Amino acid sequence: TSLNFAPQRFASSHPGQGFGFGFGGGFVLLGDFGGKMPAMFGKREAAAAQPHRRSVLRDVIEFLQQHRKPGGRHSLAEIEKHVGVKLTSKGYVGVLGRLRAHERIKIIGDGFRYKPLIDNVFERTQLQDVIGRTVQGLRRSALEDAYIGAKEDLESLQNEGKVLVIRNIEDKEDIFFPPPSVSLPMEDDIKELWRGVRMPKTEVDLDEALLRNGQITQESVRRGNTYRAQKRGMVRKKKGPRKRQKRVKKLTNQHMAGKFKWLSDLQK
């Protein structure tokens, strides 16, 4: 019988835990160690039981994000209690340093606060105001992360027509803009520049202007002109190749009549 000398824990009637070697279907008891593993096995098992530093950092950020308090903070003791790890211990000093340097974390005194991309917005009126001031638009993901409950407030603003929502064709995410009725101030020199731009009056003028700027090719202009002419019925559409009909001729050999009369006589 092959022996299996892998170390194993087992339940014991003693106060601590026993330790031994398993082999085949049996087990050899080495002794009770009072609840502590021998040094040769304890370090390895303890290291395997510790959570990975990256997962601890993720858990801390998620905790701060999901348990936000307006203007408030969470102490290090609160964070350690939630993640179940002593961040000041030797194995997690690096995690604490990365947490302090993280772009989404703000340090307030000796505490920590989650810092969203759109900061200092805590309720619906402030959310509507920041959308109204941002003419270039704001992504849904950034707005929903502003505070707990922002997702529901965005839906109500959209349903009430107080914001303009356009979907980005590249990543399919909604972009929120001020409503069209909002009047935005504009400098006089910008207005004069707009009025001074000579707009093409016809499609042909537009094509010529785009061609001069190198924005389209001559081939594009030619295709555009052909399309517009066909649309107005000015150009006859090209017909496909005509089908050639086969003519069957009746062939006769009348000029050979009487030439093989001798053959007919032999067959009689």
For 123-160, how does the pLDDT look when each residue is reduced to its tens digit (9 = 90+)?
999 999 999 999 899 999 999 999 999 999 999 999 99
Residue 25: CA atoms inside 13 Å, Cβ hemisphere, count? 0
pLDDT of residue 48: 44
From 156, 157, 178, 176, select the one nearest 166 (Cα to Cα).
176
Reported as a single tens digit per residue, the pLDDT across 150-173 is: 999 999 999 999 999 999 888 889
Residue 23: CA atoms inside 13 Å, Cβ hemisphere, count? 8
Checking if the pLDDT of 239 tops 70, the result is no
Distances (CA, A) of 56 to 83, 100, 114, 221: 7, 14, 16, 61
pLDDT of residue 182: 57
Checking if the pLDDT of 65 tops 70, the result is yes
Choose the most confident range, by mean pLDDT, from 76-85, 156-165, 213-222: 156-165
Measured CA to CA, the distance from residue 117 to residue 96 in angstroms comes to 21
Measured CA to CA, the distance from residue 218 to residue 194 in angstroms comes to 28
From 174, 178, 166, select the one nearest 129 (Cα to Cα).
178
Structure tokens at 152: 């529901």
pLDDT of residue 40: 46
Q: Are strands 18-23 and 26-32 parallel, antiparallel or unpaired?
A: antiparallel
Environment class of residue 84 by beta-carbon count within 10 Å: exposed (0-12), middle (13-18) or buried (19+)?
A: exposed
Residue type, 77: A
Average pLDDT over residues 8-14: 44
Mean pLDDT for the chain overall: 76
Measured CA to CA, the distance from residue 24 to residue 188 in angstroms comes to 92
Checking if the pLDDT of 72 tops 90, the result is no
